Structure 1
């Protein structure tokens, strides 16, 4: 869904977005939107509401949706394209040595012996997997899942991807919800799964 009303000089347009860049947020609190992009950079003039302290992106995006609903009776700019896919990566069994992986699976080994990572991306699954496995300056790529996919990722699981996601496109929020749902559903089928 994208709602982009025509500008009206008498009626303000609200924009709902998020950032993890604290410097950018501080500037915006002072009325400086020069470090933002697009319509916010060009037309931003005042912060109406700021919500901080989200540990997970999913929580942030759920709150963003609440704000969209809250301000839906105002002219609203909310860029939310269906540009994300959900992908599945086969992992080696050594991933079990990572405590975070064990914890997500409640210490229960997979009954079918398969270990999986479920992720979401605005890139293709192949491009995202390549980033997970690549290095930058001799270290795992900063956008990689450094404790799971970078050291333990073996390949994309095209069969499960075709069966469960089939290349469907989602909004960012919906892709994170699907990532979690798929990880939980596959766990019920005997896989050990990990998602962010």
Structure 2
């Protein structure tokens, strides 16, 4: 059985998220509105499949919501140019750590970023 791989993906969010969502604003106090608002996530699915789960408010088999409300409400499209260069990860732990690092790097570049 092939080993599960985890990939990082980036979704562009409508800039409305910055004015409409206080938690997003608080997470991005140095954002100046020049670059885009982004969501960084990791998945064992393809980025396209995961994005569609977010947009449809997907729930797990046990009924837990596994879609990000921010992406469901404000997600516009995937930004492959910001993640295609990142190799997949063999463990969920590695992918979560990378997700956090990439979100931090993008924030340093001037993007407003949300990640879980």
The answer (yes or no) to whether the contact 1:85–1:170 under 8 Å persists in 2 is: no
Quote the RMSD (CA, aligned, Å). Answer: 1.9
CA deviation digits over 1:36-87, x for unaligned, max 9?
A: xxxxxxxxxxxxxxxxxxxxxxxxxxxxxxxxxxxxxxxxxxxxx5521111
Higher RCO (C-alpha under 8 Å, 6+ residues apart): 2
Query: Counterpart of 1:162 in 2: which secondary structure?
Result: coil
* Match in the other structure for 1:95: 17
Quote the residue 1:172 is aligned against. Answer: 92
Give the drift of 1:99: 1.3
Q: 1:157 and 2:79 equivalent?
A: yes
Report the number of matched residues: 108
Distance 1:82 1:94, change over 3 A: same
Residue matched to 1:193:
113
Would you say 1:183 and 2:97 are equivalent positions? no
User: After TM superposition, which residue ranges in structure 1, 4 or more long, deviate above 3 angstroms?
Assistant: none
Instruction: Give the deviation of 1:158 after TM superposition.
Output: 0.9
Which ranges of structure 1 fall in alignment gaps of 5 or more residues?
1-80
Give how far 1:110 is off.
4.1
In structure 2, how many angstroms separate the alpha carbons of the residues matched to 1:111 and 1:92?
11
The CA deviation at 1:108 is 2.2
TM-score by length of 2: 0.83
Of structures 1 and 2, the larger Rg is shown by 1
Q: Note if contact 1:89-1:117 (Cα within 8 Å) is conserved in structure 2.
A: yes
